[in-house]
């Protein structure tokens, strides 16, 4: 263990915030879980591949200077051998949204793609509207919708795709923008108490149903745009939004929304059968409902990239378990490398050395669905880091939308990583909680929460004021230990337990059994022999941890999963950050490096209250 001044245990964190807040790592602290790979990946170059229609259009996302399809790739932006990035500044979902609005939305409400020669697309306007309503910025929302309506809305109610140099230069709509804008209008009508937004949402939604959907043997599907109304139908699997269709169905009661929801889910399920990732583009045959992955309009081939990544986010934020089931087969496909490439083949193999925020957000979504909350939070941080190093309109948009969708219910969905911001939302509906059941491999399976159930789930025997933990017991590994209080020193570094045989409780944090993440830490060895937590790595999902309290009661926790995290950056927010129920973290050292003479990793065991 290597503290800055004196020899201490390897698990020694720097407590950087007030009680029940995350504790920042000291030199002992381990890096986030996603940094385990040494695969060299270049940071984000924006998508130079996908198109909105059957015609070749200007690239939607390639920043000036990026190569066109078939051209030699530009020089790497990150040297070979680096690991996945960590941001310089931690952001909440609302802060990420506010950053996007401040950077890309002009005062008149136009969302400007600064990395695309200053043009504007309907997709961007819809993103601006969603972010504005998510962060509660009524003024920006009104300006963004007004600009959209005045400059992009066609006579049929749909939105023209692209505007540049003062005029529409491509009036073909893109159905994802139309659907996202309608969703934003539904939310804004309720959140800002503005009936005009609700009326606009109804009208735009009806235009989508009338002009951008088609019936097939598989069900009603969302066309890529009205221009795709030719059998076999061109579809983009990332365009449907289960949350949007639910909100619009609740708004106008049109049964076609339920048909579209079921048909879109069926398409997605067909494309992920066998564990493959969804492609950027596909086609659906009307007569037999056959679904085929297809190259995009640019002809670059069948792949999972900047478009398809959004599919995973849209289906994970859904409140319907059937939507989760449609993408569940793809869970393992993004786990082939921790440093995640921006484009992959449908089996998950990297096709580029670029990184992009939206791909990290996609993996955050799928990891959250699989119960890997630590990995999900790490991927959201990686997304922020890529935005910091290489800011682009599309990357910044999805770094914000990813957090708003997965960490809060501010956009009307059921977030699997819900925290304090979600609890402050005004949108009603089911939410997901980081609690549930463990699967055969010990991963926590998230279960959607029914309407009306409070944010905290499971037993919540809140200890009375003054009650403190006295003993930790872990029968499976024969641990019984008194608990000493661990506090921060003048440098805000958490002191370690005085002796190897006794564990310690972070007494400025959560009392075990209260809502929040209680933290108990202990040594793995004394330098001569094993210490109190020497067998902590033997625990598995389902193992029980009992914490006796000073009032004579016992808080019983059940292990959900464990993570070994390497040194350098500790997943602080995941370990110490706010959670909606009573949880416990057990921390000790892991992996002794003889050459360095110290432990280089930490073991963090996560558990939830069951009694």
Q: Which residues are designated catalytic?
A: 523, 589
Q: How many angstroms separate the Cα of 504 from the Cα of each of 15, 141, 262, 521, 552?
A: 15, 49, 52, 5, 19
* Phi-psi domain of 140 (left: phi exceeds 0; alpha: psi -120 through 50; beta: other): alpha
Do 246 and 289 touch, CB atoms closer than 8 A? no
Closest CA to 269 of 229, 328, 340, 225: 328
> How many residues are there in the chain?
611
H or E stretch covering 588: strand 582-593
| Sign of the Cα pseudo-torsion (22, 400, 310, 240, in order) | positive
Relative to beta strand 479-486, strand 503-506 is parallel
Q: Whose CA is closest to 207, among 185, 191, 189, 233?
A: 185
Beta strands at 582-593 and 516-521: parallel, antiparallel or unpaired:
parallel
Spatial separation of the C-alpha atoms in residues 208 and 245, rounded to whole Å: 11
CB burial of 137-165 (b: ≥16 within 10 Å; e: otherwise) equals beebbbbbbebbeebbbeeebbbbbbbbe
Whole-number Cα distances in Å, 564 to 183, 333, 336, 409: 40, 21, 17, 30
- In angstroms, rounded to a whole number, what is the distance separating the alpha carbons of residues 395 and 557? 39
Euclidean distance between CA atoms 566 and 37, whole angstroms: 11
Q: Among candidates 607, 573, 603, 595, which has minimal Cα distance to 95?
A: 573
Which residue is associated with the tokens 């996007």? 100
- Biggest CA pair distance of the chain: 79
Q: Is 344 helix (H, G, I), strand (E, B) or coil?
A: strand
CB 565 within 8 A of CB 20: no
Cα radius of gyration (the chain): 25
> Taking each helix axis from N to C terminus, what angle separates 175-191 and 138-151, rounded to the nearest 10 degrees?
140
CA–CA separation, 430 and 434 (whole Å): 13
- The answer to whether 355 touches 314, Cβ cutoff 8 Å, is no
Indicate if the alpha-carbon torsion angle 223, 227, 228, 229 is positive or negative.
positive
Of 170, 203, 174, 210, nearest in space to 189 by CA = 203
Q: How far apart are CA 377 and CA 365, in angstroms?
A: 9
Return the closest-CA partner of residue 54 out of 296, 307, 310, 239: 296
> Tokens 């209080």 — which residue?
485
Rounded to the nearest 10 degrees, what angle do helices 393-407 and 373-389 cross at? 160
> Phi/psi class of residue 324: alpha, beta or left (left: φ > 0; alpha: ψ in -120 to 50)?
alpha
């Amino acid at each position: 263990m290597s503290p800055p001044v004196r020899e201490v245990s390897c698990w020694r964190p720097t407590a950087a915030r007030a009680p029940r807040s995350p504790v920042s790592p000291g030199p002992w602290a381990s890096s986030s879980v996603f940094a385990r790979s040494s695969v060299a990946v270049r940071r984000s170059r924006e998508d130079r591949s996908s198109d909105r229609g059957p015609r070749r259009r200007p690239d939607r996302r390639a920043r000036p200077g990026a190569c066109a399809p078939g051209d030699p790739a530009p020089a790497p932006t990150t040297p070979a051998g680096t690991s996945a990035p960590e941001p310089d500044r931690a952001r909440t979902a609302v802060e990420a949204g506010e950053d996007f609005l401040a950077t890309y939305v002009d005062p008149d409400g136009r969302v400007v793609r600064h990395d695309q020669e200053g043009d504007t697309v309907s997709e961007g306007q819809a993103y601006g509207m969603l972010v504005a309503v998510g962060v509660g910025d009524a003024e920006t929302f009104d300006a963004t919708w007004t600009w959209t309506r005045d400059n992009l809305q066609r006579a049929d109610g749909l939105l023209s795709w692209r505007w540049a140099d003062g005029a529409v230069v491509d009036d073909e709509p893109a159905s994802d923008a139309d659907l996202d804008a309608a969703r934003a209008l539904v939310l804004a009508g309720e959140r800002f108490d503005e009936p005009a937004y609700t009326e606009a949402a109804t009208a735009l939604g009806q235009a989508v149903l009338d002009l951008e959907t088609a019936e097939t043997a598989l069900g009603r599907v969302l066309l890529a745009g009205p221009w795709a109304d030719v059998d076999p139908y061109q579809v983009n699997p990332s365009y449907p939004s289960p949350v949007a269709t639910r909100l619009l169905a609740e708004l106008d009661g049109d049964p076609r929304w339920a048909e579209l929801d079921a048909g879109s889910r069926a398409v997605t399920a067909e494309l992920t059968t066998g564990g493959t990732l969804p492609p950027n583009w596909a086609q659906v045959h009307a007569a037999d409902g056959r679904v085929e992955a297809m190259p995009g309009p640019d002809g670059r081939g069948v792949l999972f990239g900047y478009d398809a990544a959004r599919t995973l986010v849209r289906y994970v934020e859904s409140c319907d378990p059937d939507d989760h089931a449609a993408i569940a087969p793809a869970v393992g496909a993004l786990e082939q490398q921790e440093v995640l490439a921006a484009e992959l083949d449908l089996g998950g193999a990297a096709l580029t050395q670029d990184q992009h925020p939206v791909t990290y957000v996609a993996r955050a979504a799928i990891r959250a669905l699989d119960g890997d909350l630590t990995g999900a939070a790490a991927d959201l941080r990686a997304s922020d880091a890529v935005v910091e190093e290489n800011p682009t309109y599309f990357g910044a948009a999805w770094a914000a939308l990813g957090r708003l969708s997965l960490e809060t219910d501010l956009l009307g969905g059921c977030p699997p990583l819900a925290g304090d911001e979600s609890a402050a939302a005004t949108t009603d509906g089911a939410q997901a909680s980081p609690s549930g059941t463990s699967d055969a491999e010990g991963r926590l399976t998230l279960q959607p929460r029914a309407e009306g159930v409070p944010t905290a789930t499971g037993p919540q025997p809140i200890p009375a004021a003054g009650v403190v933990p006295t003993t930790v017991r872990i029968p499976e590994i024969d641990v019984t230990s008194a608990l000493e209080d661990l506090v921060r020193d003048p440098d805000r570094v958490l002191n370690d337990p005085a002796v190897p045989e006794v564990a310690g409780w972070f007494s400025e944090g959560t009392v075990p059994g209260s809502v929040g993440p209680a933290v108990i830490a202990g040594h793995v060895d004394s330098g001569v022999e094993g210490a109190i937590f020497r067998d902590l790595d033997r625990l598995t999902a389902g193992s029980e941890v009992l914490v006796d309290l000073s009032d004579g009661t016992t808080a019983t926790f059940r292990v959900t999963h464990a993570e070994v995290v390497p040194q350098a950056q500790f997943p602080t927010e995941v370990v110490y950050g706010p959670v909606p129920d009573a949880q416990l973290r057990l921390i000790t050292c892991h992996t002794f490096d003889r050459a360095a003479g110290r432990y280089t990793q930490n073991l963090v065991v996560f558990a939830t209250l069951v009694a």
